[in-house]
Structure 1
Amino acid sequence: MPSLQKQREIVNKFFELIAAQKFDELLLLCSQDCKTHNPYITGGMADLTKAMTAANKEGRAQNPDASFVVRYALVDGNMAAAYTQLLNDKAKPGAGGLRQIHLFRFDEEKIVEYWDVTQQVTPDMPNAGGAF
């Protein structure tokens, strides 16, 4: 099993690649048979990266000032978790976006299992503390 520091580096690299829109390069961080548990994706990580590419293209067209931020990342044993935010407009956090929880399971220095849970955030949400 890789060190916790190495796993943290892999998770950080995963999100750096997302922010840089280099979705195909994410596959280099994953084992060939990496399982993804996104309920909307029919295949594995290759299909997930294709969906991310399409969603990013559509999202950038609708929200050119979007901002992707990693808020928290935790590593324990062979698991890691991260909380991310995608704001529709970085200058207007109240404009909505997405918040996500990502879970990773590692074997050696590769991601072998990946989960993501996404919540849509809208400006009219009732939480007085705000979604972000």
Structure 2
Amino acid sequence: MINEAETMKNKEIARKFYELIAAKKYDEAAKLCSDDFVYYPQVSTRLEGVDKFIKLESENMDPAGDFKMETKFIIAENDRVAVYLTFEGDLIGDEWRGAKVNNKHIYIDFMTMLRFKDGKIVEKRAKYDRFDILKQLGVKDFNLKY
């Protein structure tokens, strides 16, 4: 259990982390993460290392050009910080993540849960609706298998 001052410090680090990502300052955002950082973009997907996170984050966001990312609220308790954000932009180019996009506009809302240790982010978990994104892109065949 950590004290309230550390919890509030973690909350401010989380705010700064997303400000840096929104500004496409990925290398600076990476400095707020620990050497043993782990990212879960989906519950069953584990990416070890901040470099893998930054690569995936930039691949997802950079095609939206001058995107807008806004932190709606942040809740902190002990070593965890939950952040609710929105992301909006116009995808440039003809393809994004294998989907034909033809310069489509997307609006996404998502939640993340960050875990801290010694003032650094050691874990990030993200929750968003992939199917809503695909629907916005006009993808009709999700090719789902159960």
TM class by shorter chain equals 0.7 to 0.9
Flag as ranges the 4+ runs of structure 1 deviating above 4 A: none
In structure 1, the gaps of 5 or more residues are 90-94, 124-132
Equivalent runs, 1:6-45 vs 2, <5 Å: 6-39=9-42, 42-45=47-50
Q: Does 1:52 align with 2:62?
A: no
Partner deviation per Cα, 1:7-35 (whole Å, 9 max, x = no partner):
11100110110111011222211110111
| Structure 2 Cα separation of the partners of residues 59 and 41 of structure 1 | 25
User: Is there any run of 5+ residues in structure 2 with no aligned partner, and where?
Assistant: 91-104, 138-146
Specify the SS of the correspondent of 2:59: helix
Alpha-carbon RMSD: 2.3
CA distance in 1 between partners of 2:46 and 2:70 (Å): 23
* Cα distance in structure 2, aligned partners of 1:76 and 1:44: 24
Identity, in percent, stands at: 25
The two structures have a TM-score, normalised by structure 1, of 0.75
- Asked if 1:97 corresponds to 2:92, the answer is no
More moved, 16-25 vs 35-44: 35-44
CA shift digits 1:61-107 (9 cap, x unpaired)? xxx4x321100100001100000001236xxxxx6411110101111
The answer to whether structure 1 residue 86 and structure 2 residue 87 are counterparts is: yes
Please say if 1:3 is aligned against 2:6: yes
How many positions carry a matched residue from both structures?
115
> Residue type of the partner of 1:106?
F
Residue 115 of structure 1 pairs with residue 125 of structure 2: yes
Q: How far is the alpha carbon of 1:41 from its aligned partner?
A: 6.4
Letter in 1 for 2:84: Y
More strand by share: 2
